Structure 1
Amino acid sequence: MIENTKCECGHNNPIGTILCEYCGKPLLEETKEKKTIEQEMRYEGKARRSQIKHKNFIDQVWSFFSSVKVAIILILITLIAAGIGSLLPQERVAATSNPELFYSQEYGIWGEWFYKLGLSDMYNSWWFMTLLAMIGVSLVICSLDRVIPLYRALKNQKVEKSTDFLLRQRISYQESVADEKKEEKFDALTTALKKRRYQIRQEGDSILAEKGRISRWGPYINHIGLIIFLLGVLLRFLIPGWYLDQAMYIQEGQTRKVPDTPYYVKNEKFIVEQYDGKFAGIPKKYQTKLILYQQDSSGNLKPVHRGSAIVNHPFEYKDLFLVQVDAQTNLKGIKLKLMDKKSQQSKGTFLVDLGNIKPNQVYTVGSNLEVRALEYYPDFALENGRPITKSQEVVKPAFIFEVKEKGQKEGERSWVISGENADALTPENKYVIKLAGFEMIPTSGLLVRIDKSLPIIFVGGFICLIGLAMGFYWHHRRVWIRYKDGVLYLGAHTNKSWFSLRRELNQVGKQSGIDLKLVQE
């Protein structure tokens, strides 16, 4: 059971209360020793849950996350981590099928450690998501720990405050006034304050003038916007299909599956327009004509949308955006010629389509020769004496071909690495395969983007801006006036711009005919 702190006025206050809820007198000895109570007025001196005795684990967790220092530390850690993660491109930007090899080859030892420490896919990592979640929890608890007591205090604030409370305000005033002039002073002051848009409440010989209370809610509206913003960011990674930002390359005439979506896209035609005259040869426009497909119930591809992706004008379909970001001329195929090793006579040529190699695909050469592709390594390398492919990208293509005459049961095998026959591996072969040429094809670089959380992020950002405007452009100002034992007391408080409040009260004094010799600590 929570203990109470009893004030001199007789009011029982919850433990942790700094200023009496009823009269406003300081309750703590260290507060009584101060000349002003400006700092204690931030939350009206009300008890916050984080200030009560810690009874259980939940109270301790609440106290931890309600600390502004903890929130700042979490934000700093997140910012530092995000900065480190931006030193090298993330995996989704690099768009590589073998990130471990990519980072070590491109950035050396730093890239290798960048990948090993999990920084290459940091924004999808569990610990980064945990940091964002902890910041969100801290924002929620910080806000609730302060806004609830503040709301109760402002809603139920008393008009009559102790003279000690008034004189301890940063701006205060006292003057001996005869009883018969009390009403005249009150009327003059309230009239002048009303002209300045103060709302007036009077109870007996006490007056409370207040305006701009909306300013006190600005930081908490701002917190709500930040919480919604963080929620939108987290939903990108928590809900599959809500966020996608991935590059893909598609050759002209090729149909490929759009990564992590149920769609397929065909590059119907890639168009490059160039400037004429002085700027001849400089690209003017990149455009890819696209057809978007989706599988029907029988598994067949059915076109659902046609359009073009142009730089700064993406191809759109529902939540899917295909953005034109790059253009290349890539290797489509290799032309190889089969030659008799002794006579060096050509038996014919055949074309290997690197994007469409089927297992055991057979190429007919001349009238009676067949070449069968037994094995294919797009990015050839040797590991422990065995052939491997380091990635599925066409970097160093290598083949094992079988050459035989029609009707022959078993032929001879030949290695072809990067278009050159490896004669040393098969010196006894009758035939040799040599490079005859290349076939190039335009390739369009598209950025696949899906972001269903953008509306939530925009709403959070808009609410955050409203909170900032409320906090910056309004000032919560209050003036307490009390007449007691022949003395007129005045105390004033604002959450910002004390000089402006002092100037305003001086003008109020001139309008009311009272020489307010304000005391400002």
Structure 2
Amino acid sequence: MKKVKCECGHINHEGTVLCEACGKPIEENQHIDNNDKNKLLNMRYDGSARRSQTKKRTIVDKTWAFFSSVKVGVWLIALTLIAAALGTLYPQEQFKQSRLPSSQFYEQEYGITGKIFYQLGFHNLYSSWWFITLVALIGISLVICSIDRVIPLHRALKNQKPKRHEIFVKRQRFFSETEGVSDKDREMLIQNLKNRRYKVREEDGHILAEKNRFSRWGPYVNHIGLIIILVASILRMFDFMHTEDYVWVREGETKVVPTTDQQYYIKNEKFIYEVYDRNDERFQEALKNEEFDVPSNFQTNAVVYKVKEEVIPGQEPELEEVTRGEIRLNHPLKFDGYSAYQSGTQLRSEYETISFSIKNSDGQDVGDFNFKPNVDKRKYELKDGYNVVVTDYYPQFEITEEGPSSSSKFPRNPGIIFEVNGPNGHSERYFYLNEDIVALSEDQQFNVNLEDTKLITASGLTIKKDFSLPVFLVGAIIFMIGVAQGLYWHHRRVWLHPTGNKVLFAGHTNKNWYGLKNEIEQALEGTNINMVNDQQEKF
């Protein structure tokens, strides 16, 4: 790599704009930061050489230059945000609450836009290869942007000397020139700067006072935090770091916990639904305009079980209790790295029991039976040789062109056809629907009545395992440290440059020029050194 030797003796890297040691502009490179056109020096990265601006010969150099561009990074972030927003238009495939194939579900539910959503692959957006690629490209851009800038900047700040070139001092934004400065003035200036927590260095009568250099690394600390967050987002795409699924569990039902390879089961012991009391003075004002009751609590009392031993296919697993507790909104039940969240409910939406009573032609009670839709029992023995046989059962009854049918396996509108058989061989058929009983036989000798129906609630639970959250937290903390580092502290430098019978005084900061000017005023109190002028106004 070509090196550039300054007259001060310091050897600079190719592409250096301002000598890292003395700050003298290197003439052939001034076009890089437009210093050849500006009266004031462009102090971006202290004029250090950046690979992206000096090496553009090979495909590697061109790739490096492409990803080191801030504009490219902004475009990648914008495209990723747009894609992520489009993925929220309709539910992702894993969260759709339908047994229909995705190819049919999105078109039936959302029309032509849903069909386009599916065909473009947005139904599995966040795990798609192209979305992961976008996230990875953002990470690559952040890494290259940071390396391209932070290493040269660190080198320039590390190599800077108190003795700077006269051109460097004169072309700073804050500058003044004073004749006849005494040693007492110098000592007073140094003391005032130290009182303001400046670190002062001297070389042959030249002074460099500097404070808050660490603030220059704030943006790069931000980048480290963002890179960690991006790594965490990519890790979420692997099952060992993050899994999430949804399960409906009815009251009294025990179901396998999804994403756990059938190692865990969860039982819904009871669902509790509570509403705000309209007579309570605390809520009367808020509820007076509400037409319907406002829920105050959705709660599932659950028990989590774990399979004891390896299960042979066809064998019922032996379960042992792991934990039990209450699942409420934003209060999950946690077990072995998993969390069960209360995410939905189908309140009293399914039949658990439908009870019938039967009497014979003499008015004598011959028994009753409780039909349980979710229990596979179709024959019921009554008194004195009477029995009932359920011949047809439709959980969600509907009439189609082909006759009676069911649109779902869940008993939300059950239709039941059953026979009542007497000991003498007499049989009658009945049809139950919507709490009505219709006799299907002409010669009725039995009196069948509906005694009671019991409805149950299905609780929707999100089962989540997320080991990426600590990684996100670390990235977020580092990011906020970088924000504070760059926002609340500013890198400030002042130079005192004796030349002949004059003293040149200059100041520079990366932010808050007004604050630097105030500090310079305070540092010059009690001295004969002239106050600096803002040369940006002059030019």
TM-score under structure 2 length normalisation: 0.77
Q: Residue in 1 aligned with 2:509?
A: 494
- CA distance in 1 between counterparts of 2:53 and 2:449 reads 80
Q: Is the 8 A contact 1:349 1:365 kept in 2?
A: no
- CA distance in 2 between counterparts of 1:183 and 1:23 reads 24
Match of 1:446 among 456, 461, 478: 461
Is it true that 1:103 corresponds to 2:106 in the alignment?
yes
Q: 1:74 Cα shift?
A: 0.5
Question: Closer, same or farther in 2 for the Cα pair 1:377/1:6, shift >3 Å?
Answer: farther
What code does the residue aligned with 1:24 have? G
Q: Residue in 2 aligned with 1:474?
A: 489
Q: Residue in 1 aligned with 2:349?
A: 330
Q: How does 1:63-212 map to 2 (within 5 A)?
A: 63-98=65-100, 100=102, 101-177=104-180, 181-212=181-212
Q: Residue in 2 aligned with 1:341?
A: none
Q: Residue in 2 aligned with 1:484?
A: 499
Q: Residue in 2 aligned with 1:248?
A: 247
- CA distance in 2 between counterparts of 1:317 and 1:9 reads 68
Q: Is the 8 A contact 1:365 1:371 kept in 2?
A: no
Q: Residue in 2 aligned with 1:50?
A: 52
Q: 1:225 Cα shift?
A: 1.2
Match of 1:295 among 302, 307, 323: 307
Is it true that 1:314 corresponds to 2:332 in the alignment?
yes
Question: Closer, same or farther in 2 for the Cα pair 1:154/1:380, shift >3 Å?
Answer: farther
Q: 1:497 Cα shift?
A: 0.9
Identity %: 41
Q: Give CA deviations for 1:244-293 in whole Å, capped at 9, x if unaligned.
A: 34332211110011111232100112233455563796544333221101
Q: Is the 8 A contact 1:336 1:419 kept in 2?
A: no
Match of 2:525, SS?
helix
Question: Closer, same or farther in 2 for the Cα pair 1:146/1:390, shift >3 Å?
Answer: farther
Match of 2:172, SS?
coil
Q: 1:183 Cα shift?
A: 2.8
Question: Closer, same or farther in 2 for the Cα pair 1:241/1:377, shift >3 Å?
Answer: farther
Q: 1:13 Cα shift?
A: 2.4
Question: Closer, same or farther in 2 for the Cα pair 1:330/1:269, shift >3 Å?
Answer: same
Q: Is the 8 A contact 2:257 2:266 kept in 1?
A: yes
Is it true that 1:233 corresponds to 2:233 in the alignment?
yes
Question: Closer, same or farther in 2 for the Cα pair 1:125/1:398, shift >3 Å?
Answer: farther
Moved more, 296-305 or 85-94: 85-94
Q: Is the 8 A contact 2:22 2:160 kept in 1?
A: no
Question: Closer, same or farther in 2 for the Cα pair 1:277/1:133, shift >3 Å?
Answer: closer
Q: How does 1:274-423 map to 2 (within 5 A)?
A: 274=275, 278=279, 283-298=295-310, 299-327=317-345, 328-332=347-351, 354-355=373-374, 363=379
What code does the residue aligned with 1:124 have? S
Q: Is the 8 A contact 2:20 2:159 kept in 1?
A: no
Question: Closer, same or farther in 2 for the Cα pair 1:12/1:326, shift >3 Å?
Answer: closer
- CA distance in 1 between counterparts of 2:396 and 2:203 reads 88
Question: Closer, same or farther in 2 for the Cα pair 1:13/1:321, shift >3 Å?
Answer: same
- CA distance in 2 between counterparts of 1:258 and 1:62 reads 47
**Structure 1, unaligned runs of 5 or more:** 338-346, 406-414, 421-433
Match of 2:266, SS?
strand
Match of 1:237, SS?
coil
Q: Give CA deviations for 1:485-515 in whole Å, capped at 9, x if unaligned.
A: 2221122110011122123222322332323
- CA distance in 2 between counterparts of 1:465 and 1:435 reads 70
- Equivalent pairs counted in the alignment come to 487
- CA distance in 2 between counterparts of 1:193 and 1:124 reads 56
- CA distance in 2 between counterparts of 1:393 and 1:87 reads 29
Question: Closer, same or farther in 2 for the Cα pair 1:287/1:73, shift >3 Å?
Answer: same
Match of 1:74, SS?
helix
What code does the residue aligned with 1:5 have? V
Moved more, 120-129 or 158-167: 120-129
What code does the residue aligned with 1:156 have? N
Q: 1:398 Cα shift?
A: 9.4
Match of 2:497, SS?
strand
What code does the residue aligned with 2:305 have? Y
Q: Is the 8 A contact 1:199 1:211 kept in 2?
A: yes
Q: 1:22 Cα shift?
A: 2.7
**Structure 2, unaligned runs of 5 or more:** 285-292, 311-316, 357-365, 422-430, 437-447
What code does the residue aligned with 2:251 have? E
Q: 1:471 Cα shift?
A: 0.4
Q: Residue in 2 aligned with 1:268?
A: 269
Q: Is the 8 A contact 1:36 1:169 kept in 2?
A: no
TM-score under structure 1 length normalisation: 0.80
- CA distance in 1 between counterparts of 2:270 and 2:85 reads 40
- CA distance in 1 between counterparts of 2:397 and 2:171 reads 79
Q: Is the 8 A contact 2:39 2:171 kept in 1?
A: yes
Moved more, 473-482 or 19-28: 19-28
- CA distance in 2 between counterparts of 1:176 and 1:276 reads 84
Q: Give CA deviations for 1:310-360 in whole Å, capped at 9, x if unaligned.
A: 3343222242222223332122469699xxxxxxxxx99987755455xxx
What code does the residue aligned with 1:259 have? P
Match of 1:512, SS?
coil
Question: Closer, same or farther in 2 for the Cα pair 1:334/1:313, shift >3 Å?
Answer: closer
Question: Closer, same or farther in 2 for the Cα pair 1:514/1:10, shift >3 Å?
Answer: closer
- CA distance in 2 between counterparts of 1:380 and 1:295 reads 39
Q: Residue in 2 aligned with 1:409?
A: none
